[in-house]
Amino acid sequence: MSKNIKKIGVMTSGGDAPGMNAAIRSVVRTCAYYNIECVGIYRGFEGIMEGDFRSMDARSVKGIVNKGGTVLKSARSKEFRTPEGRKIAHDQLKSANVDALVVIGGDGTFNGGLVFNKEYDFPIIGIPCTIDNDIFGTTHTIGFDTALNTVVDCIDKIRDTASSHNRLFFVEVMGRDVGHIALNAGVGAGAEEILIPEENLGLDRLLESLHRSKRSGKSSSIVVVAEGDKIGKNVFELKDYVEANMDEYDVRVSVLGHMQRGGSPSCFDRVLASRMGVKAVETLLEGKTNYMVGLLNEKMELTHLREAVKGKSKIDRELLRVSEIMTT
C-alpha cells in the first residue's frame, strides 16, 4: 500500500449521470475503510481552482446511493484549460494536502486529468460516468443502464398514443456522437427502425422500411433516432420529409432530452458505481496513476486514461444484427 497517499480528493465533472452519487459514496467509504482522509471537491475543476473542498467521512455520504445528479455538483471550466488555471488548481490541492484525485466523469474530465498529471505528476484515477456509454475500456459507463430504462419507459408510453392514433413517432434520444442509447433502447422498446451515427441508413431506405412495415400490417411505428445520427436531417426535418413522401402516417416527434439524465439510478448502476469506487481508491493505494477503472468481461479492469480517451467505444455488431432481425 502506498504510504504517500494520505488524502484523496473526489470530484464529478462534465454532464451529470445517474449513479454519480453512488460512485462518490463508494470512493468516500473506501477511503474511510483504509483510514485515508477524503475531501469532496465541489463543481469539478472549477472547484479545485477555488479551493472548494469539504472533508467527507463515511456518514457524509449517507442516503445518496439512490439519488440522481451529483451532490458535489458539476461544471465545465474554461480556466482549467489554461496553464495558469492548472497552476492555481495545483497550488490549492497542495495547500489542502490532497495527494491524489479520483475524477468521475467522461472523456473531457479524463483529458483534463491527463494534462494535469503530465504537468504536475499528480496521481489521478478516472471513473467513467456518462449516460452516453462512449468510453473505451468499459462495456458500461455509470448512468447508461438507468438512461436506457428511462428511455424504454418513455417509448412504451409513447407507443400507447402511437397505436391508439395509428401514428408514426420519431423519438430522439441522447448519446452525443454515438448510438449506444438508441440501439439498446430501440431493441428493448421494440422500435420499428433505429437510426444511429454508426450506420447511415439513408433516407430512401428509411422510407422503404416504413412502407414495408405498413404493408406488413403495422398501423403505427416508432423510429428511434440518436441525436448524433448522420442521416442528414434532424427529427423535425425527418417528420416533414416522411409526411411529404408518405400519406399513410400521421407523424409526430418527441425529443426526450434531459429527462434521460435524471432520476434514481438502477440497481445495475449502483452496483457498478460501488465496484468502481472501491477499485479506484485501491488502485491509487497500489501506487498507480493515470488509469480508468472499467467493467470488462464482468471484472474490474484498468485501462490507461490515454487509451480511454483516444479509443472509440464500438457499437455492438451482434446487437445491430439482432435489431435488424427484430425490425423485420
| 252 is annotated as contributing to ligand binding | yes
User: For this structure, is 153 an active site residue?
Assistant: no
Does residue 327 contact residue 198 with C-beta atoms inside 8 Å? Answer: no
Judged by CB under 6 A, does residue 40 bind ligand F6P?
no
Q: How many CB atoms lie within 10 A of CB 120?
A: 15
Q: Give the nearer residue to ligand F6P in terms of CB position, either 31 or 181.
A: 181
Q: Return the residues of window 100-129 that contact ligand F6P according to CB under 6 A.
A: none
One of 9, 175, 186, 294 touching ligand F6P (CB under 6 A): 175
User: Tell me, what DSSP letter sits at residue 36?
Assistant: -
- C-alpha to C-alpha distance for 85 and 61, rounded to whole angstroms: 29
Q: What are the cell numbers at 111?
A: 483529458
- Under rule CB under 6 A, residue 44 binds ligand F6P: no
Separation of alpha carbons 273 and 276, rounded Å: 5
43 near ligand F6P, judged by CB under 6 A: no
For helices 20-33 and 267-285, the axis angle rounded to 10 degrees is 40
Cβ 143 to ligand F6P shortest distance, Å: 8
> Given candidates 77, 130, 149, 220, which one binds ligand F6P under the rule CB under 6 A?
130
Choose one: 33-41, 169-177, 205-213, 231-239; the region binding ligand F6P (CB under 6 A): 169-177
Binding flag, residue 174, ligand F6P (CB under 6 A): yes
Give the alpha-carbon dihedral of 136, 142, 143, 144, to 10 degrees: 40
Q: The sheet that has 124-128: what strands, in order across it?
A: 53-55, 37-41, 7-12, 100-105, 124-128, 291-296, 299-304
Is 192 annotated in some ligand binding site?
A: yes
**Any binding-site annotation on 147?**
no
Counting contacts by CB under 6 A, is residue 281 touching ligand F6P?
Answer: no
By the 8 A CB rule, do 25 and 65 touch?
Answer: yes
Q: Which of 16, 99, 132, 134 is catalytic?
A: 132
Interacting stretch for ligand F6P, rule CB under 6 A, among 44-52, 81-89, 171-179, 244-252? 171-179
175 is in an annotated binding site: yes
Query: Candidates 34-42, 85-93, 170-178, 209-217 — which segment interacts with ligand F6P by CB under 6 A?
Result: 170-178
Smallest gap from Cβ 172 to ligand F6P, in A, equals: 11
Residue type (1 letter), 228:
G
Helical packing angle, 180-189 and 144-164, nearest 10° = 50
Q: Do the strands 299-304 and 291-296 form a parallel or antiparallel pair, or are they unpaired?
A: antiparallel
Give, as one character, the DSSP assignment of residue 313. P
- Strand pairing class (7-12; 53-55): unpaired
**Site mask, ligand F6P, residues 226-265, x = CB under 6 A?**
-x---------------------------------x----
Which residues are known catalytic residues?
Answer: 132
Site residues for ligand F6P per CB under 6 A = 15, 130-132, 174-176, 227, 261
